[in-house]
Amino acid sequence: MSSDWLAVIIGNSRLHWAYFHQQELQQSWDSEEGIIPPEWEELPLYLVSVVEAKNLLFQQHMDLRIIKLEDIPLKGIYSTMGVDRALALWGAMQTWGYPCLVIDGGTALTLTGANNQGEFSGGAILPGLRLQLESLATSTASLPRVHLSSQLPLLWAKSTPEAIQSGVIYTVLTGIKHFLANWWKQFPKSPVIFTGGDGEILSQYLIELNTEKTDLLYFEPKLIFWGLKTIVNEN
């Protein structure tokens, strides 16, 4: 196998790229289009996709290798589970061990856990923060489009934009805290790893709320690539 290779994760909103040299991540970036930098066009390309229709962007690549759910040696997963969820959890397990919980703040906000035997133990899926905000703007007649604030908004808002922020952010955080309380009841010392576009701000919000066990909260934006690296190494 070439010591240099590319990875592309086709997500719901964007494409996430990584360039590896001798199994070490050298560079990562996001894009809207499937354009491979010319100097890397001939490298092996490992593709992970949650939008199969977009796989066509790369069907002409001379050395395309599609990573599927069955390529991930994670026990207990179900046949329709998103390959991105499984790969991120696998990456967390290789880095932090298990049990562990991954919270991916993407277009869909997902929680995915592994128990102390290293088996998938369940999870949850809900609309992500930005998807909820966008839905209110596009599905109602007069509610404005608002953005996430860098700090927690007022709980009892006094304007429509702030009320939207408060409603979306605090209900999501309350839900996450409920899951965390249950998870830590089962696995008191388990790390919780945030990833995805809104992963960092979610973890920051929880710290602002004085959530218990903040020392067990981590943010790793490249988590899925760590899982993919392990799969590539094994093959």
114-143 residue pLDDT tens: 999 999 999 999 999 999 999 999 999 999
Q: What is the CATH code for 88-223?
A: 3.30.420.40
Tell me the CA distances in angstroms from 51 to 8, 12, 15, 74, 232, one per residue in order. Answer: 12, 7, 10, 21, 21
Residue 80: CB atoms within 10 Å = 6
Q: Which CATH superfamily is domain 4-66 in?
A: ATPase, nucleotide binding domain (3.30.420.40)
Identified catalytic residue from 63, 71, 84, 104: 84
Whether pLDDT at 1 is above 70? no
Q: Decide: helix, strand or coil at residue 105.
A: strand
Say if CB 132 and CB 117 are below 8 A apart. no
Give pTM, 2 decimals: 0.93
Is 84 a catalytic site residue? yes
CATH 3.30.420.40 domain span(s) along the chain: 4-66, 88-223
